[in-house]
A and B are shown apart, each in its own frame.
Chain A
Amino acid sequence: MKNKRTLFHIVKREALPWYQAWMIRGAAILLALIVCSLVTVMVTGLNPLDLYKSMFYGAFGTERKTWVLFQKLAILLGISLAVTPAFKMRFWNIGAEGQVMAGALACATVMITLGNKITSNWLMLLIMLVVSVAAGALWGFLPAFFKAHWNTNETLFTLMMNYIAIQLAAYFIIIWEVPKGSGKIGMINQNTRIGWLPYIGGKQYAIIIILIAILTVLLHIYLKYSKQGYEIAVVGESERTARYAGIKVEWVIIRTMILSGALCGFIGMLLAGGTDHTLSTDIVGGRGFTAVMVSWLAKFNPIVMILTSFLLVFLQLGAKEVATSFYLNESFSEILTGIILFFIIGCEFFITYKIQFAKSGKEA
């Protein structure tokens, strides 16, 4: 009894060369895709080849579908980028959903209340930008303030803030609903198009994609090469080291969360002013939560985030297509997203650790 030995034990690896780590991740994603298609084939009875055809059609089938794909990719990537500075600091902000919602709500407020008063679209867009960013920043500031001063649990705080923002939006939606009793606002400023983001070359989504591309580059530079980015990394690694090095940790926490919240607010403006031109309670649609996973799984690397976001959005649109053509429920895409995420989450273990089996007969 006393000689009980474990069959194996787990040891931390030396850092893997990057190509090996990527091979493990690639294998995990491949495995996940196989499981996804098995599940889909089981549910629909389709043969796998037709399935992939159908999924590709859902994502790239028409010009319109392709634009939608890239727009959705841009938004998800944008929110993922927005939450990244806070995560790098090990601040568990799961309130992106609420921060984006706050931005979208603020943006819609401006569009509705000032829609008849301001005729210059550029002035309008400027006000929208300032107000949305401020609203998002406020939603980010509150949890950071309490975390920095009283160590209030930020995960739970930001979680509650989500629903406060959503209920606030629900309140204003009923106030502004058109027609009364419909529970919907409808297109805001449909005739004047005041406060709509400009179309570039006749394409509605082009501006969003361009803006997010710029944001990606800027954030990468900010995190990697700026002094503030360095401070964030130090606070994330060890708060004590940061204090010892003379970094004002409280201020870094608050400043970073204001930045995260402000970026989320900006995405909210893109949603309300650029894609939807309206406000609904599911305008963010859980992407605030998905972004948390995208950012974390990409190890805060913006380039990897592009790939992960693409994978998730592609699956989502593809699954939607499959579901619609089989009269199945649209939530099918969430099941596939879940499966993919489980595999990516799980594979990190094999990158960080290795399993050593105890050799028989020898003492470990």
Chain B
Amino acid sequence: MKPRDIIKRSGRNLRQAKARTILTASAIAVGTFALTLTLAASNGAQHFVDNIINNNFDPSELIVANDKSVFGRADSATPREYDSSFGQGLSSANAAIQFKQLSDSDIVKISAEPYTENLRKGITINLTYLTRAGQKKYVGVASTFNPAQHPDLSSGRIPSNLGGNDILLPEAYVEALGFKDAKDAIGKSITLTVRKSFDATDIQTALAQGLSAESIKSLGQTSVTEVPFTVAAVIKKPTTAQPGTELYMFISADAASRLNDIATKGTANYHKYNFVYVKVKNGNNSSDLIAAQDKLKAMGYTAQSTADTQKFLTDIIKVLQGIVAAFGAIAVIASVFGIVNTMYISVIQRTREIGLMKALGMRAKDVGRLFRFEAAWIGFLGGIMGSVIAFGVGTALNPWITTKLSLGAGNSLLIFQVKQIAVLIAILMIVAVLAGFFPARKASKLDPIQALRTE
């Protein structure tokens, strides 16, 4: 018997028992539904992570720190010995932690390495406030602009070399600072204010002047430094920024150092950095990047590549998805018993038909195939049902999820890929065929004489 005829006949047999077929396939559909959504969520999360990485990091750069705690890999259960160079920071659980920072000597040492093309300090400054003449004061954070960043602009442009007083202003501040629109903000001045630490010179000066009310007041005034910046561009609300950095404004590395020096002078954090970006020569070549990473590690530093960051993020996603996928797989396994049961009932009900087919010369192999194809059809039907429902539900919910999770326009949590769904359905068909193995074997081994005598 030709395979095409077996396939057609098996499909016809299933159509004759529609209710039973649909119910059996529904069990598979439940598992398929969960697995399709898991795959779609996996694609969406991967896409989102890739966008974050591509829009915020240069793959030829390494992020270098002096302490693995910077990357959230601190051993929080073991006491650490005090080091006078420790800086303050927050763990991933927002607990206060101390970690060893990079100093100027570290930067000189790393810059001198043959693989270092250039080095950029990772500086983030908590502003006391930012404002504009005649406007309210707002809290804010300024950070070093990373040339690998490609923010969408509402207005203006990003100069190839960000000037000492240029600032990239988030769109959210446009209205708050009294600009008519993004275009109106371009070329206008805003003021960033940082609180200057008290240092010995200031106090000595105040003491020399005598601790009058006037000298104490002037001491308070000097503790705040206002630095004017010119808006070079207004950046749209980022859809793929690192979470929590949506309102960051960006300034040049020089300007960031200047502000940081003002804010940290006289403190333990002066000229200390949590991390630096090291651009590696031929860093796009993974072997060169890994070689540089190994050398930095040998020097006692912790170096993380873009791929490491990406892996760190995707690993977390994969664990969560693995749990959901496991539930889907359990549903599929449960449905296997449904297929076995349905197929056994089918063999019993069609004993005389099997006897007739064998009497007419149908080979036992083809009888087995007929039932295995029926099982495959059930798997196919269940797969189609589950994936179509998942696609429908996912497509309907995507806009709501995007808004709820603030993923930003152009991003979706659920991304369906036809190829993946096709592979999933193919796997389900194989699972169904395996489930139908024993009933098909029973059918193929039936004695035609006994089968024809069955009432």
Q: Are A and B a genuine interacting pair, yes or no? A: no
- A residues apposed to B, CB below 8 Å: none
- B residues apposed to A, CB below 8 Å: none
